[in-house]
Amino acid sequence: MYEFVNKAVRTLKNILPEQVVRPFLPLYHALLSFLMALSYGFPGRKLVVVGITGTKGKSTTAEMVFSVLRAAGYKTALISTIRFAIEDDSEPNRYKMTLQGRGFAQAFMRKALDAGCTHLVIEITSESVMQYRHWFLYLDGLIVTNIQREHIESHGSFEKYIEAKRAVVSALVHSPKNPRILVANSDIPESRFLLSVPVTRAMGFTSRKLKISEDERSVHFEYKGMQFALPLPGAFNAMNALGALKLSEALGIPLATIAIALASLEVVHGRMEHIDAGQDFLVIVDYAHTPDSLRALYGAFPERRKICVLGNTGGGRDAWKRPEMGRIADESCKKIILTNEDPYDEDPRAIIDAMARGMKRAPKIIMDRRAAIRAALRAARKGDAVLISGKGTDPFIMGAHGAKLPWNDAEVVREELKRLLAERRHS
């Protein structure tokens, strides 16, 4: 059914002018959401569905919950920005969006059910709410990692962005499931509203009084007198883990099981991912694409001389953050290389110039992303940190008129490191 609808929609797009279709889009998306759920037998009713929403940290938190549920013995599926997984069967998400439309989630849930899954972890974005993709998920639990300024152009205002997040919470409130569990970051201003909604159980988690110790490859924290360890750096990952922990605990999973699952978490690709090829300096690939996430990335390596490669994801949107991200890089990095990310139909150089306006120093600008990464690696000294942000696991660089350049930051880094180390051995 999903493939049939995809073909039908593509055909209609070629026939009907956009200005004719636009007024009917809300009705179309709402009706399609219902019909696709109906065609697959409302599979969310038969699964324990845990949603993850928030401005940042969704993918890492989803991986944590996925790991914990599996460690507890539940056969579990995952829909995330990074990948789609049913237990060990995993494939990368190459759609350039977290929660696909046209019934993808319903088709995947039916596939998970048919494979014997009892639980599903799913990322839910604010932009998917605009097309009613959060309907008929039948949530049992929801984690709100945080709410920060993002997707302002697509929503129209920050207030409407917050409304979209509230709509996800409302989906939990109106779910027929019982119990319905909400876990929300109580450090954010919206938490007062979030934690007051009528669900079975609402819990906050906070960085206040959270005892954290960390190094460049791990973070440790204490909860209810028990020590928890993550093979990921950054205090923000301790917060992600705390949200996952509280939700898992509310589902009845023992703390000892949660601790084992978190300690053995596999690499979360594109999220603070260490690339090791035998070089004598640190290389990190990370998705950081907001001012706060960029600040957190740089703050995780306070003692390192940092060489930073960044651009500004998403031409045509969130222009407000460009000079701000330039300013953060200028304050945190010894050397800065600005490069292309996803300009879409906007002039990529104009995006970079907007970032440079937030900087006191003149940055090095290399528009070819591979060449920018190569230059950063070659500029690194022993003990430096090369931090490459913005793309994470994004599979394409998006250009004008729908152009897609296949891309993978981590693979490019490995290729360039291999070349660099080979040259050094023979020099």
The DSSP line for 290-355 is SHHHHHHHHHT-TTSPEEEEE--S-TTS-TTHHHHHHHHHHHH-SEEEE-----TTS-HHHHHHHH
What pLDDT, on a 0 to 100 scale, did the predictor assign at position 97?
Answer: 83
Contact between residue 411 and residue 391 where contact means Cβ atoms under 8 Å apart:
no
Average of pLDDT values for 264-291?
Answer: 94
Average pLDDT of span 386-391: 96
For residue 341, pLDDT beyond 60: yes
pLDDT value at 288 more than 70 = yes
| pLDDT higher than threshold 90 for residue 264 | yes
pLDDT at 114: 97
Round to whole Å and give the CA distance between 100 and 81: 10
Mean pLDDT, to the nearest integer, of 313-318? 76
How high is the pLDDT of residue 301?
A: 95
Instruction: For residue range 87-119, list pLDDT tens digits in order.
Output: 999 999 988 787 887 789 999 999 999 999 999
Strand pairing class (219-223; 396-398): unpaired
pLDDT above 70 covers what percent of the chain?
Answer: 92
Largest Cα–Cα distance in the chain? 68
Given strand 212-214, what is the order of strands in its sheet?
212-214, 219-223, 226-230
User: How far, in whole angstroms, is CA 95 from its chain's centroid?
Assistant: 13
How many whole angstroms separate alpha carbon 285 and alpha carbon 288? 9
By C-alpha distance, which of 326, 291, 333 is closest to 311? Answer: 326
Decide: helix, strand or coil at residue 144.
strand
Average pLDDT over residues 188-200: 91
Helix (H, G, I), strand (E, B), or coil: what is residue 84?
strand
Tokens of 310: 């960044």
Q: How far is CA 372 from the centre of its chain?
A: 24
User: What is the pLDDT at residue 222?
Assistant: 95
pLDDT band at residue 363 using 50, 70 and 90 as cut-offs: very high
Closest Cα partner for 112 from 59, 37, 46? 46
What pLDDT sits at residue 417? 98
Across the range 318-322, mean pLDDT stands at 87
Higher confidence at residue 81 or residue 7? 81
d(CA 281, CA 305): 10
Q: Percent of the chain scored above 90 by pLDDT?
A: 74
For residue 179, say if its preceding peptide bond is cis, omega within 30 degrees of 0.
yes
Give the CA distances from residue 356 to residues 149, 322, 323, 343, 371, in Å, rounded to whole numbers and listed in that order.
21, 8, 7, 16, 19
Q: What's the confidence (pLDDT) of residue 229? A: 96
Comparison of pLDDT for 20 and 220, the residue scoring more: 220
pLDDT tens by residue, 208-261 = 988 999 999 999 999 999 999 999 998 999 999 999 999 999 999 999 999 999
Write the DSSP assignment of 120-144 as a string of letters. Answer: EEEE--HHHHTTTTTTT---SEEEE
What is the arithmetic mean of pLDDT over 260-272?
A: 94
Query: Is the pLDDT at 33 greater than 70, yes or no?
Result: yes
Give the integer Cα–Cα distance in Å for 414 and 412: 5
Tell me: pLDDT of 412 over 90. yes
Query: Alpha-carbon dihedral of residues 76, 260, 292, 144, nearest 10 degrees?
Result: 50
Report the alpha-carbon distance of residue 87 to residue 118 in Å, rounded. 11
Mean pLDDT check: name the lowest of 29-38, 324-333, 406-415: 29-38
Crossing angle of helices 255-263/235-250, nearest 10°? 140
List the one residue out of 224, 209, 260 whose CA is nearest residue 73. 260
Q: Above 90 in pLDDT, residue 30?
A: no
Q: What are phi and psi of 249, to 5 degrees?
A: -60, -40
User: Which domains are present in the chain?
Assistant: 2-263 (3.40.1190.10), 273-426 (3.90.190.20)
Mean pLDDT over the full length of the chain: 91
Asked if residue 156 has pLDDT above 90, the reply is: no
Cα dihedral sign, 5-11-16-18: positive
The continuous run of DSSP H or E covering 372 comes out as helix 369-379
Q: Which residue has the tokens 């949530």?
A: 139
In this model, does residue 6 exceed pLDDT 60?
Answer: no
